Structure 1
Amino acid sequence: MGKRYLDEIDLMRAFVILGVLTVHTLSFFNVLNSDGTPGFYALGALITATHFTRETFMFVTGLVLFTTYLHQDPFQPLPFWRKRFQFIVIPYVVWTLAYIAFVALLTPGFSWSWSTLAPAVIHNLLTGNMFFLYFLVVSMQLYLIFPLLLYGIRKAEKYHVHILVASFALEICLMWLNQNILDSLTPVGWPKWLYDLYTYRDRNLLMYQFWFIAGGILACHYDQVSAWMDRHRKALFAVLVASLAVVFGHYVLERLVMHVSEDEAELVLQPIMVPYSLVVTCAFWYAGLAWSKRKERPGWRAFSRFVRVASQTSFGIYLIQPFPLYAMEVVIDDLDGRGIPVWLHYALLPAAVLFSYFSSMLAAYILMKIPVVSYVVGRKAKLRHARGEPVRRAA
């Protein structure tokens, strides 16, 4: 059985990466608000509701990997590792160095000596601590153990439902442990290796195990599950609306009744985000399935072209986003310093999201068309193109 391309994943990537930019833009706008004001609580609730993006991307990564290699027999780990790591290690190293240089340029009096740069480079390469590179760190861990996961999923076909339920329960327990136990610890005097494991636990593969396993099991039963989802689409969107209400209510309860901190209320790795993110992920997946059936219709072709470009550049958008986000922050901060009206401050929010999204997309698209350079956005550009084609497509 040959490889299967899932068109619906293109739509998921295109709009989930938009959700990522939305989270980061909302977070900056809320920094400019005063805690305890209605505007602060409103944006805080929106940030919490859009925190499904991390889990959805983990799910998509697992689904695509298992769909690609499930029926490859025999599966060869060495070619798999060689192919996958060249498209993630190169971007990881290049963007870590680029981010370090970027931060250094913005830091007055920064010393460019080797004694300053070397520890920073080593630390950030080992921890993925620059901006949003934790996702690449988790992905590399997944690639390492993927042959073992693939073998287990194949061999345990009769127990997929049991594995999925057990994995879901484990994920809830891990999120409870993170929120209620680990977050309250004071790691003073701990050995450095244990301190680092504790501090950077949000980039530990175990914390996201359910999403990879769910993607793998879905890949094994794709047609059956998609048919079931289509039959129950009305129930899915009813549950989605109810889930949004529950998440908003949970945020309000924590902030206004239990008086927890904003960071804890918005926490990604907490129990309520597991079922909520699962529902939102299913809704995005169903939306992708619905689009894939219409993508070639005359009225949908322009939108379909946008989806494909956004999907192809989604990894690049993720890597490039710190730069347009910083530019956006400088402009908005300057405007707020001039005393713009409150209504204009909030009216600029969607424009800021779209600026960050489309400027990152354009930069990623240009980079992915340049041979060799394309590796920095996880792509391999062809050496020859039809004359004018890159320019036409970019336009």
Structure 2
Amino acid sequence: MAKQHLYEVDLMRAFIMFFVVCVHITIVFMTTVPVQSPSYLGFGAILTSLHFTRESFMFITGIVLLLTYYGRPFRIMDFWKKRFMLIGIPYLVWTFAYILFKGLYYQPNHYWDPAALLSNTLHSVFTGSQYYLYFLFVSMQMYLLFPLLVKGLQRFRRYHVHIFIGSFVFQVLLMGIYKFYIADMPTTSMPAALLAFKQHAGQFILMYQFWFIGGGITACHYPAVRAWVVRHARWVTTVLILSVLGVWAHYLRDMMLLGRDESVAEMIFQPMMIPYSLIVTIATLVAGCAFAARRLQPNWQWFSRFVTLASNTSFGILLIQPILIVFVEALVGALNTMGISKWLNYSLWPVSILAVYFASMALSSWLGKVPVLSYVVGRKTQRQRFHGGLSSI
């Protein structure tokens, strides 16, 4: 399998990371409107339909990794050394940076007590619990298991369809168990292992197994998959629209008819989100293929440059945005305390999304050009001898 650059994946990264920012800013604005109000339900429905981002990003991670290593000589130790260096350094640096930021910004009681600080740091490092570092934590688990995935897909190539379907069904069943059994179980009666799983489900690779396996299988048959989505672009678009409407209806049903808690109604880990996230991921691939076919046209050059920048900085955007969102939250909260109109509050929602997205992109681009420091956003500079970069994530 010849190594190739997937321009469609560049657009997918840019698209998905933009909606990651949308998720986090929408959560901020949900706190500014009365609970159960039409505005609150509207924000909640939109938020639920945006909960495809982590799954889609992990799916394209599986695609890119398998396209890079499938069918080629594969040295496990070299792979681990390269990947863990590239992701481990940003993981540790940002874990410490977030801990420092929280201590300086929020100044919680006893935060700087040596014993409490050590406990917090160790817990953060071994659980990926600081802001959105769960993605890096899960990715490191994926890297650890990746040699088995490569070997398994090579050995059982005849059964890729069966593996894909089996992994999908297992993921749906797992989400059902989590939503309808584990999520509602009183923590006081939980075994210790199950309690730990509930508290850290988002940092556990099993909760994302389909997206890595599915992405890997897609990579093994990528030319055929790509041709299929291009042929069925209109059908995919129609299904996407119906799926978004279905997710909104499901959320409103849970909230208004069943009286479920908001955290349950818009839960990421629920059965319906598996087929929905897969449909959205396929739709982003359709958009990516359309972009790849047009990117060299003169009137697309400006957009092509933007996509390249957005893709290259996507990892840094993920890492930088939490601190910017904290300041947006403080500003929006202060303005609402002053009694701004609800329409001004609504207008600040898209403005905040764009501000955080482009500010994070600019900071990520700048950091990516600074020797050594560029490692914290998963990039390398010409002065660095270490080859690679997290653009493959």
Q: TM-score, normalised by structure 2?
A: 0.95
Which consecutive aligned stretches of 4+ in structure 1 deviate over 3 angstroms post-superposition? 108-111, 189-195
Deviates more, 1:346-355 or 1:229-238: 229-238
Instruction: Quote the residue 1:389 is aligned against.
Output: none
Instruction: Quote the residue 1:238 is aligned against.
Output: 238
Secondary structure of 1:380's counterpart equals coil
Aligned pairs for 1:178-327 within 5 A:
178-188=178-188, 195-327=195-327
Instruction: Quote the residue 2:63 is aligned against.
Output: 63
Instruction: Quote the residue 2:78 is aligned against.
Output: 79
Provide, for residues 118-151 of structure 1, a one-character-per-residue CA deviation record: whole Å limited to 9, x for no partner. 1111011011111111111110000001000000
Q: For residue 97 of structure 1, what is the amino acid of its counterpart?
A: F
CA RMSD of aligned residues (A): 1.3
Q: TM-score, normalised by structure 1?
A: 0.94
CA 1:125 to 1:250, structure 2 compared with 1: closer, same or farther past 3 Å? same
Q: Does 1:163 align with 2:144?
A: no
Identity %: 44
Q: CA deviation at 1:333?
A: 1.0
Q: For residue 272 of structure 2, what is the amino acid of its counterpart?
A: I
CA distance in 2, matches of 1:42, 1:334: 22
Q: Does the 8 Å contact 2:229/2:285 carry over to 1?
A: no
Secondary structure of 1:321's counterpart equals helix
| Structure 2 residues without counterparts, runs of 5 or longer | 385-393
Q: Does 1:146 align with 2:146?
A: yes
Q: Does the 8 Å contact 1:104/1:110 carry over to 2?
A: no
Q: CA deviation at 1:2?
A: 3.4
CA distance in 1, matches of 2:134, 2:168: 22
* Number of residue pairs the alignment of both structures matches: 383
Provide, for residues 326-364 of structure 1, a one-character-per-residue CA deviation record: whole Å limited to 9, x for no partner. 111111111111111111100111000001101111111
Deviates more, 1:262-271 or 1:111-120: 111-120
Q: CA deviation at 1:26?
A: 0.4
Instruction: Quote the residue 1:112 is aligned against.
Output: 112
Secondary structure of 2:296's counterpart equals coil
Q: CA deviation at 1:194?
A: 5.0
Q: CA deviation at 1:44?
A: 0.3
Provide, for residues 133-186 of structure 1, a one-character-per-residue CA deviation record: whole Å limited to 9, x for no partner. 111111000000100000011111111111111111001001001101110122
Q: Does the 8 Å contact 1:2/1:71 carry over to 2?
A: no
Aligned pairs for 1:345-384 within 5 A:
345-383=345-383
CA distance in 2, matches of 1:155, 1:344: 58
Instruction: Quote the residue 1:390 is aligned against.
Output: none
Instruction: Quote the residue 1:88 is aligned against.
Output: 87
Q: CA deviation at 1:193?
A: 5.3
CA 1:253 to 1:223, structure 2 compared with 1: closer, same or farther past 3 Å? same
Instruction: Quote the residue 2:98 is aligned against.
Output: 99
Q: Does the 8 Å contact 1:138/1:204 carry over to 2?
A: yes
CA distance in 2, matches of 1:115, 1:239: 53
CA distance in 2, matches of 1:252, 1:111: 40
Secondary structure of 1:33's counterpart equals coil
Provide, for residues 304-346 of structure 1, a one-character-per-residue CA deviation record: whole Å limited to 9, x for no partner. 1010011001000001111110111111111111111111100
Secondary structure of 1:181's counterpart equals helix
CA distance in 2, matches of 1:202, 1:137: 10
Instruction: Quote the residue 2:389 is aligned against.
Output: none
Q: Does the 8 Å contact 2:58/2:212 carry over to 1?
A: yes
Q: Does the 8 Å contact 2:175/2:271 carry over to 1?
A: yes
CA distance in 1, matches of 2:190, 2:344: 48
